[in-house]
Structure 1
Amino acid sequence: MILNVSMLSKAYVGKTVLKDVSFHLEDKEKAAIVGINGSGKTTLLRCILGIEEADEGSIAFSKEKKMDYLAQQHADIEAENEDYDTLSGGQKTRKRLEEILQEKPDLLILDEPTNHLDIGSIQWL
């Protein structure tokens, strides 16, 4: 088991965005979280990553495994020998994804990874 999410719930100012979410991932498994805007997809990922705290439930991640994250926004990119501000959104996404893949994570969390990508990059991904 790489990741186990059990009975996770989260609300903001009285609005429940996650309720009793449960799933687990094993080595080599892939999963997609699909839903409309505002349905809690990013909140779920942020809880898994420890960026936000769930109101209820538990998250267990294997200590022997390495996790990495491609966020919707890439403010964490330190561009080397390039003026980061001149890169397009797709270039920023590809650059960050390249950096992440070089680290060879066991669990790769992608939050809307196709935003700003061209058709060829989307097909590759």
Structure 2
Amino acid sequence: MRNKDSSDGGENMLLQVRGLYKAFKGNQVLSDINFDVEKGEIVSLLGQSGAGKTTIIRCVTGLERPDRGSIAINGRFICQEQDGKMVYATKKELYNIRRDLGMVFQSYHLFPHMTVLKNVTLALTDVHKEPAAEAKKKAMDMLTSLGLADKAQSRPYELSGGQKQRVAIARSCVANPKLLCFDEPTAALDPKTTQEMTKIIKDLAAEGMGILIISHDIPFVKEVSGRVLTVENGKIKNL
């Protein structure tokens, strides 16, 4: 697949989604989805369960293949239409694209048998093949910045929901992605921890990271976001 630069985006554009359609077993889930995320911007997709926002983020992260449309991350295409046909990134191209992409899942997806430190360093050492000492330093710096240095040798079951969320953020940010996606980041958090999460996300954006959030938490989304898009019945609109 030819990963040419996206033609209508500038150097600040991290994510471009154009004309996205997706159906499952004949049921249309997404219809003509269009939006962008720039460097340092926080964009939220707000909608109820079943609206289509989870399918959007799964397409953006390459976990689902759209039926039509294009998705470009940092100028490189995950998918696009060429000569009336959908063309998808190869496995190698997708690996390189995902180096610019981080994902924080709603259920955190931490490995329960591993320490916090091992959870954070695993991708660096096993996927990116970084030396263990270098990976450990990066991980400890990240954990320190998130107030978790004292939890490095703890296991996930010893942590609160907010601490697990911060470990998941540390794991996603340690490889320095340009775009970070959050799936329902406040779903299991109390109001105080939600405020802490809001500050963390704003701080990441202030450092130049693009943030894409999917959520149904209206107060949180309005407080944290620079731009809010509503998703209803597989379609998107500005709020």
Give 5+ residue unaligned stretches, structure 1: none
User: In 2, are the aligned partners of 1:90 and 1:115 still within 8 Å (CA)?
Assistant: no
Equivalent residue for 1:25? 37
Does 2:111 correspond to 1:111? no
Q: 1:37 aligns with which of 38, 49, 59?
A: 49
Distance in 2 of aligned mates of 1:18 and 1:118? 32
Deviations 1:39-63 (A, max 9, x none): 1111100100101111111101115
AA in 1 matched with 2:18: S
CA distance in 2, matches of 1:103, 1:122: 24
Q: For residues 41-56 of structure 1, what are the structure 2 equivalents within 5 Å?
A: 41-56=53-68
Q: 1:76 deviation in Å?
A: 4.0
Q: CA deviation at 1:35?
A: 0.7
TM superposition score normalised by structure 1:
0.85
Q: Greater helix percent: which structure?
A: 2
For residues 13 and 19 of structure 1, what CA distance do their matches in structure 2 show? 15
73-82 vs 46-55, which deviates more? 73-82
Flag structure 2 segments of 5+ consecutive residues without an equivalent.
1-12, 77-96, 117-152, 199-239
- In percent, how many aligned pairs have the same letter? 37
Q: How many matched pairs?
A: 125
**Relative contact order (C-alpha < 8 Å, sep 6+): which is higher?**
2
Give the CA RMSD over aligned residues: 2.1
Given the alignment of the two structures, is residue 82 of structure 1 paired with residue 116 of structure 2, yes or no? no
How far apart, in 2, do the equivalents of 1:41 and 1:7 lie?
15
Residue 14 of structure 1 aligns with which residue? Answer: 26
Deviations 1:44-87 (A, max 9, x none): 00100101111111101115982211011222444333232343
